[in-house]
Each structure stands twice: as structure tokens, then as C-alpha cells.
């Protein structure tokens, strides 16, 4: 089996802040991992580009606030993913109140998110070093598939 490129640790340059803000969404590849860097309402986010559900490309997903979290909607099957945490979100019914009301709940972290930093107008991402398998890993090459097999 061919070994995949291991990304070096530490920050990876993404681009100039002004250019990234203008672009709004930028796809970069770091160590064989495709990552979506996006700027929304004054904040940068970075997450795996392919949806944990079935590999849909998140690059053109709509963004909306759900249950006080900003979420991206996968264009493929409309799953919702929180931008900051990578949590899969679902709408359920809160039966603790009468009458029950619809409410957004989390399924836990499903999409790997990465840290974004800015220095002197330059933007960097630092890859998540969480060693646990996260479902979006599966769509990031053979290493992700092997991680799932071991999980």
C-alpha cells in the first residue's frame, strides 16, 4: 500500500486575509486533505470539505443559524453541520414543554474542523490533531478509511 503524505505539524499558510474575505470560500489541500476555508460574518472557519454523511462537497452549501449555531447545509442531502464545532445537527421535538416545540439538537462531532489564525494580514490553518476517528475522515483518502476500519 502506498503511504500518503503526512502533513507537517504547525500552521499552514492559506492566503492573504483580504483576498480570502473577498473570495468568501477557498478550497485548499494540506497533506492530501481537502479543506474548506470560509469567511462568514467576520469569522474564518476551516473544516473538511467533504460531508461526513456521504462525501458531498460543502463548498457551495448555504449557511444559516440553527439553535444559536452557524451551520452549513450540505448541498447533497441537506445535512446540517455546525461551522465552529463540526457537529451534525438535527431537528427534534422538545417534549419537556407543553405543547412540544421543535428544537435543534447535536449528534456530536461528525466533521473535522481545523484552527484558523491570522498574523499580519496572513491567514493560516493548523490541522486538527485529534487522533480519534471523525466521520468526515472517511472521505479524505485511504488514511481516513483505515482509521474507520480501526475505530
Residue found by looking up cell 460574518 in the block: 41
Stretch of 22-30, 33-41, 72-80, 101-109 lying at the interface with ligand FES (CB under 6 A) = 72-80
Q: Do the beta carbons of residue 27 and residue 51 sit within 8 Å?
A: no
Provide, rounded to whole angstroms, the least separation between the CB of residue 74 and ligand FES: 3
Q: Which residues pair with 88 in a beta bridge?
A: 81
Asked if 77 touches ligand FES (CB under 6 A), the answer is yes
Q: Which residues pair with 119 in a beta bridge?
A: 122
Residue from 54, 60, 95, 119 binding ligand FES (CB under 6 A): 54
Residue from 35, 36, 47, 74 binding ligand FES (CB under 6 A): 74
DSSP 73-84: E-TTT--EEETT
Q: Which residues bind ligand FES (CB under 6 A)?
A: 51, 53-56, 74, 76-79
Amino acid at each position: 500500500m502506498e503511504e500518503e503524505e503526512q502533513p507537517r505539524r504547525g500552521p499552514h499558510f492559506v492566503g492573504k486575509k483580504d483576498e480570502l474575505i473577498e473570495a468568501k470560500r477557498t478550497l485548499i489541500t494540506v497533506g492530501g486533505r481537502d479543506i474548506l476555508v470560509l469567511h462568514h460574518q467576520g469569522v474564518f472557519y476551516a473544516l473538511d470539505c467533504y460531508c461526513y454523511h456521504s462525501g458531498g462537497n460543502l463548498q457551495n452549501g448555504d449557511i444559516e443559524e440553527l439553535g444559536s449555531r452557524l451551520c452549513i447545509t450540505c448541498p447533497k442531502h441537506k445535512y446540517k453541520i455546525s461551522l465552529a464545532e463540526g457537529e451534525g445537527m438535527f431537528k427534534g421535538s422538545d417534549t419537556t414543554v407543553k405543547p412540544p416545540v421543535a428544537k435543534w439538537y447535536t449528534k456530536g462531532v461528525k466533521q473535522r474542523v481545523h484552527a484558523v489564525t491570522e498574523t499580519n494580514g496572513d491567514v493560516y490553518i493548523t490541522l486538527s490533531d485529534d487522533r480519534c476517528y471523525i466521520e468526515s475522515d472517511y472521505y479524505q483518502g485511504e488514511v481516513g478509511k483505515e482509521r474507520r476500519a480501526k475505530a
